């Protein structure tokens, strides 16, 4: 039965590729390139097409004012998904509609609207669960799930026949349109999004497409079919809204009678028994190849031996305004020397703890501790982080960072000996630490990744002599960030004189598979070059790198009776005022150490100079604060109270909002101006 191409696309299951279609009513397009969004083709009645893939090339977006826009998936912006309000009635419907795999973006989260009784336990109404994998069986299939927000971890499986009321949970992650098109589009459903950020790209044609568009956008995907004919090696790109009728005749024709053009990712996904094969570079469009790949594909016929995942080390250049990013192979033969690392907080210092060596650092900022048992830090203090694993506490089965960690403080130092004492530093310490490096040894890239926790700072001391040009040798410093797994194909020329590891994600090639190759595959691995990657590629690789890192803990509850503040933490005006009024006790409220941003400018009318007044994020009773300040009372005279219900909380903080802060500033300014006319008030 003939259907339109659009109707065929709506019911097409990508798992059933390839499909052979016969054109029932043809169309010939000439010159109408814009209307077909850059695609031009001629289809005659009776033509046979083998559909090998289907992709989303653009979206039709409907705005809140009911205007429609055509947005390509390459649009440089980030979007937030709105949860689909239409529920799924069965697990079968979810498995058929969504793309579910081990990839992080293809593991949807649903809310159960009814109770489900299982052998492993009970899924209560209102519980949310994540679908991690799908397994197909003869009698249907099952999905493997993980229940969220319940300890200990609870995993279970649901059959396709499971009925229920499953609603998509709200996703707070930001996505590009390309990621939404690949992972977040349900079959036969629209997707509502809101734009959260436009990424600047001067060379992109549609950068200002949503400049004056606000609110929600309802996205309708527009698909594109990749197809080939029997007589041509060219891949036809056919938009799904093309006005033709087709019939599925897959059962009547041999799919192998067509050419097999495949992208590198298509080849990578093939099973191991598919290799080795002889392939020819497609002449469909000119390819931009690196100098290394140009020599490999010079003959346009190559041998693909096998697919594998290569280990690459992601590094960024240091010390220049325009940062470059590199992917370094493990086979790199250069040597590196260490460079000092900077640790912005004590938490970063604790995370860098290693089992192979001690870390010696010097503090660059001072920190006055008000916590019992936790040490203060002065600029210039030297600390030693001893060997060991990064400490973590377990709370209800979940690991989290501790509130403090122990290290050694160097109290006295001479040419031959040094005196150390154990101290405990709060991990919330907002100071700064610079590493002291005395190691002159030269390391390989493999040794750095094996012996030291990443990130790590180095510079090239001996370049790789096997490379004609070592781009790393010219960098003033390198920030080694992480190891990644890079999908690659081992490809050689027909003479096996040149063998290369070709990255799948960064080489846009189309190959026509000719036949199997009966020779012996090379035992050794191929040559792999240092790749300089773009900014977009770098952030794509780094985007989910930090998702497994334990977040820093909240600062611990401030003690009820903290030690008095040191005099050096007070301004000169405060010292003179406190000396005249000894009744004003600094212990009447709890204060955190001041930071640079915690000072505000006030003019002194007596001296004609500006003075900085510290504002500390203390806990004020909101109703009494405004009244006390209105009466001209100083902050030192305000007693700070605390609700009894908060005593059970380990971390109980309430910060003053912006309106209160503005009121405090106005009150201080008024009092500071009046001090030039009358008696000074007791303000800090």
- So what's the pLDDT on residue 613? 44
Inter-axis angle of helices 658-675 and 622-630, nearest 10: 20
Q: In the predicted model, is pLDDT for residue 103 greater than 70?
A: yes
Contact 296, 498 (CB under 8 A): yes
CA distance 324 to 477: 11
pLDDT bracket for residue 254 (50, 70, 90): confident
- Average of per-residue pLDDT values in the chain: 75
Q: In the predicted model, is pLDDT for residue 608 greater than 50?
A: no
- So what's the pLDDT on residue 453? 84
CA distance 589 to 656: 15
Q: In the predicted model, is pLDDT for residue 126 greater than 80?
A: yes
By CB neighbour count within 10 A (0-12 exposed, 13-18 middle, 19+ buried), where does 385 fall? buried
- Ordered by start, the domain boundaries in the chain are 1-76+192-258, 83-169, 260-335+455-533
Q: What percent helix, strand, coil does the chain show, rounded to 5?
A: 20, 35, 45
Q: Which residues contact residue 669 at a Cβ distance below 8 angstroms, ignoring those fewer than 6 apart?
A: 602
CA distance 248 to 21: 5
Q: Which residues contact residue 369 at a Cβ distance below 8 angstroms, ignoring those fewer than 6 apart?
A: 375, 376, 377, 426, 429, 593
Tell me the mean pLDDT in the region 393-418: 67
Contact 269, 505 (CB under 8 A): no
What is the tens place of the pLDDT at every residue in 282-304?
765 555 667 777 778 777 789 99
By CB neighbour count within 10 A (0-12 exposed, 13-18 middle, 19+ buried), where does 647 fall? exposed
- So what's the pLDDT on residue 8? 87
Contact 473, 460 (CB under 8 A): yes
Tell me the mean pLDDT in the region 329-349: 89
- So what's the pLDDT on residue 205? 57
Strands 392-395 and 342-343: unpaired
- So what's the pLDDT on residue 581? 43
Tell me the mean pLDDT in the region 120-139: 88
Contact 555, 426 (CB under 8 A): yes
Q: In the predicted model, is pLDDT for residue 572 greater than 80?
A: no
Query: Which range in 40-44, 45-49, 559-563 is most confidently predicted, on average pLDDT?
Result: 45-49
**What ranges in 494-547 are assigned the alpha helix state H?**
535-542
Rounded to 5 degrees, what are φ and ψ at 5?
A: -65, -35
Q: Which residue from 177, 182, 178, 181 is spatially nearest to 196, judged by alpha carbons? A: 177
Q: In the predicted model, is pLDDT for residue 82 greater than 80?
A: yes
DSSP state of 547: G
- So what's the pLDDT on residue 627? 42
Total number of residues shown for the chain = 684
CA distance 269 to 257: 22
What is the tens place of the pLDDT at every residue in 170-213?
988 888 898 899 888 888 788 999 988 766 554 455 657 787 78
The SS3 call for residue 684 is: coil
Token pair for residue 602?
Answer: 């006030």
CB atoms inside a 10 Å sphere around CB 424:
15
Q: In the predicted model, is pLDDT for residue 346 greater than 90?
A: no
Tell me the mean pLDDT in the region 49-53: 86
Residue 502 vs residues 306, 325, 529, 530: alpha-carbon distances, Å: 11, 19, 10, 12
CA distance 323 to 65: 42
Least confident of 38-42, 120-124, 254-258: 38-42
CB atoms inside a 10 Å sphere around CB 452:
19
The SS3 call for residue 3 is: strand
Q: In the predicted model, is pLDDT for residue 441 greater than 80?
A: yes
Least confident of 167-171, 221-225, 240-244, 452-456: 240-244
- So what's the pLDDT on residue 218? 93
CB atoms inside a 10 Å sphere around CB 335:
17
Q: In the predicted model, is pLDDT for residue 619 greater than 60?
A: no
Q: In the predicted model, is pLDDT for residue 325 greater than 80?
A: yes
Q: In the predicted model, is pLDDT for residue 33 greater than 50?
A: no
Q: If you count DSSP H runs as helices and E runs as strands, how many of each does the chain have, helices first? A: 11, 40
Q: Which residue from 520, 184, 562, 510 is spatially nearest to 371, judged by alpha carbons? A: 562
Q: In the predicted model, is pLDDT for residue 552 greater than 60?
A: no
CA distance 582 to 430: 32
- So what's the pLDDT on residue 506? 84
Rounded to 5 degrees, what are φ and ψ at 569?
A: -85, -10
What is the tens place of the pLDDT at every residue in 626-678?
444 444 444 344 333 333 444 444 444 445 555 666 666 666 666 555 555 44
- So what's the pLDDT on residue 26? 63
Q: What angle do CA 591, 564, 661 make, to 5 degrees?
A: 20
- So what's the pLDDT on residue 582? 41
Q: In the predicted model, is pLDDT for residue 564 greater than 50?
A: yes
Least confident of 163-167, 537-541, 610-614: 610-614
Q: In the predicted model, is pLDDT for residue 585 greater than 50?
A: no
Q: Which residues contact residue 114 at a Cβ distance below 8 angstroms, ignoring those fewer than 6 apart?
A: 125, 164, 165
CATH number of 83-169: 2.30.30
The SS3 call for residue 82 is: coil
Residue 137 vs residues 134, 140, 268, 392, 661: alpha-carbon distances, Å: 10, 5, 25, 42, 63
Q: In the predicted model, is pLDDT for residue 539 greater than 60?
A: yes
Least confident of 388-402, 535-549, 619-633: 619-633
DSSP state of 97: H
Q: In the predicted model, is pLDDT for residue 327 greater than 50?
A: yes
Least confident of 86-95, 307-316, 598-607, 660-669: 598-607
- So what's the pLDDT on residue 241? 79
- So what's the pLDDT on residue 355? 80
Rounded to 5 degrees, what are φ and ψ at 252?
A: -100, -10
CA distance 295 to 291: 7
Tell me the mean pLDDT in the region 232-261: 81
- So what's the pLDDT on residue 34? 33
Q: Which residues contact residue 31 at a Cβ distance below 8 angstroms, ignoring those fewer than 6 apart?
A: none
């Amino acid at each position: 039965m003939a259907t339109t191409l659009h109707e065929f696309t709506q019911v097409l299951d990508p798992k059933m590729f390839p499909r052979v279609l016969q054109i029932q009513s043809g169309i010939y397009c000439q010159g109408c390139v814009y209307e077909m969004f850059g695609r031009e083709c001629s289809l005659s009645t009776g033509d046979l097409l083998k559909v090998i893939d289907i992709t989303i090339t653009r979206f039709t977006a409907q705005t809140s004012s009911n205007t429609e826009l055509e947005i390509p998936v390459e649009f440089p912006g980030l979007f937030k998904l709105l949860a689909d309000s239409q529920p799924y009635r069965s697990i079968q419907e979810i498995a058929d509609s969504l793309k579910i795999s081990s990839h992080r973006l293809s593991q949807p989260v649903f809310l159960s609207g009814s109770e489900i009784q299982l052998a492993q336990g009970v899924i209560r109404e209102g519980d949310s669960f994540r679908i991690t994998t799908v397994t197909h069986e003869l009698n249907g299939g099952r999905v493997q799930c993980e229940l969220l927000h319940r300890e200990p971890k609870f995993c279970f499986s649901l059959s396709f026949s499971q009925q229920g009321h499953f609603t998509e949970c709200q996703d707070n992650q930001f996505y590009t349109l390309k990621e939404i098109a690949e992972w977040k589009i349900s079959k036969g459903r629209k997707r509502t999004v809101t734009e959260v950020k436009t990424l600047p790209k001067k060379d992109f044609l549609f950068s200002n497409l949503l400049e004056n568009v606000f609110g929600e956008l309802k996205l309708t995907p527009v698909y594109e079919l990749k197809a080939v004919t029997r007589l041509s090696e060219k891949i036809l790109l056919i938009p799904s809204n093309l006005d033709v009728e087709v019939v599925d005749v897959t059962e009547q024709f041999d799919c192998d009678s067509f050419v097999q053009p495949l992208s590198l990712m298509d080849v990578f996904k093939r099973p191991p028994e598919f290799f080795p094969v002889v392939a020819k570079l497609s002449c469909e469009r000119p390819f931009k190849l690196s100098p290394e790949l140009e020599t490999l594909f010079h003959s346009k016929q190559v041998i693909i031996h096998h697919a594998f995942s290569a280990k690459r080390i992601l590094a960024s250049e240091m010390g220049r305004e325009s940062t470059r990013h590199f992917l370094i192979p493990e086979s790199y033969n250069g040597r590196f020397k260490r460079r000092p690392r900077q640790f912005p907080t004590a938490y970063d210092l604790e995370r860098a703890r290693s089992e192979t060596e001690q870390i010696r650092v010097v503090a660059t900022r001072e920190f006055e501790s008000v916590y019992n048992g936790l040490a203060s830090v002065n600029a210039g203090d030297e600390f030693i982080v001893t060997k060991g694993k990064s400490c973590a506490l377990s709370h209800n089965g979940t690991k989290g960072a501790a509130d403090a960690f122990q290290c050694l403080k160097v109290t006295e130092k001479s040419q031959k000996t040094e005196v150390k004492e154990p101290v405990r530093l709060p991990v919330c310490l907002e100071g700064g630490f610079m590493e002291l490096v005395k190691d002159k040894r030269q390391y390989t890239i493999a040794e750095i990744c094996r012996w030291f926790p990443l990130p790590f700072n180095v510079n090239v001391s001996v370049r790789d002599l096997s490379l004609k040009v070592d781009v790393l040798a010219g960098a003033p410093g390198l920030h080694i960030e992480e190891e990644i797994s890079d999908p690659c194909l081992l490809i050689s020329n027909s003479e096996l004189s040149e063998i290369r590891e070709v990255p799948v994600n960064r080489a846009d090639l189309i190959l026509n598979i000719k036949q199997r190759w009966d020779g012996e595959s090379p035992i050794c691995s191929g040559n792999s070059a240092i790749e300089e990657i773009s900014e977009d590629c770098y952030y794509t690789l780094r985007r989910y790198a930090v998702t497994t890192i334990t977040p820093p803990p909240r600062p611990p509850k401030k003690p009820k009776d903290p030690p008095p503040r040191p005099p050096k933490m007070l301004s000169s005006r405060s010292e003179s005022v406190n000396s005249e009024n000894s009744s004003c006790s600094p212990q009447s409220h709890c204060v955190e150490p001041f930071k640079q941003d915690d000072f505000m400018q006030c003019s002194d009318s007596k001296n004609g100079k500006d003075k900085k007044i510290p504002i500390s994020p203390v806990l004020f009773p909101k109703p009494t604060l405004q009244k006390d300040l209105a009466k001209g009372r100083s902050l030192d005279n305000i007693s700070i109270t605390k609700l009894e219900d908060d005593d059970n909380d380990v971390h109980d903080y309430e910060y003053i909002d912006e309106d209160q802060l503005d009121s405090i500033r106005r009150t201080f300014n008024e009092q500071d101006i009046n001090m030039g006319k009358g008696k000074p008030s007791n303000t800090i």
